[in-house]
Amino acid sequence: MDYTLQVTAHLLRGCVLTLQIYAVTLIFSIPLAVLCALGRVSGPRALDRVLGFYGWIFRGTPLLLQLFFFYYGLTIFNISLSPFMAAGLTFVLNYGAYFMEIFRGGISSIGAGQYEAAKALNMNYWQTMRRIVLPQATRVVLPPTTNEAITLVKDTALVVVIGMGELLRSAKEIFTRDFTLIPFAVATVIYLLMTSVVIRFFRYLERRMAYYD
């Protein structure tokens, strides 16, 4: 029991980095995705093509490859990022691309009648989006957003390839030292707890949004 507690304490220290990357990704990727989605739906054709190219690049290449590029590849251009900066930038841009397409679909699902009603009320573009379109689109995009938020918990383990000591790497270090599966078992429980919290949070949001239907 004492050994398990020691392992858990060590893994929780690694879990802090996992949570930091998770928080940074959601905090910055969601606003980025909303702006990009609005640009694709309402912006000029040139902007739509640029944003479409951005989504094509980051959705069409492995996240692991993107991590290598931002941490190792940018050094070719004399740009050196810390592991945390490289990981944060990679995850924000990657998940921003996925969220952009989710939000674009949600905004596009709102019927033309909603825009006509807003125009009849003399609302400008941003008032229409903020008061009418985005609240309705949010209800549509919550389920797929939940899936991406859950995937993000597990994807944070990829930062081990650029030398960051997150949860899974901490478990591997103990396994290598003691040759026991206990650290992996504890890491599994921690990952399940984190994903459970994410699921409960988004279900709470879904219930709150459904309240206003």
**Model-level pTM greater than 0.85?**
yes
**Domain residue spans in the chain?**
2-211
Tokens of 141: 């995009």
- In the structure, what pLDDT confidence band is assigned to residue 186 with cuts at 50, 70 and 90? very high
| Cβ neighbour number for residue 153 with a 10 Å cutoff | 20
Give 161's DSSP letter. Answer: G
Mean per-residue pLDDT of the chain: 91
- Record: fold of 2-211: MetI-like fold (1.10.3720)
Task: List the Cα angle 29/84/75 in 5-degree steps.
Answer: 100
> Would the pLDDT of 211 be above 80?
no
The position carrying tokens 């206003």 is 212
Which value, in Å, is the radius of gyration of the alpha carbons in the chain? 20
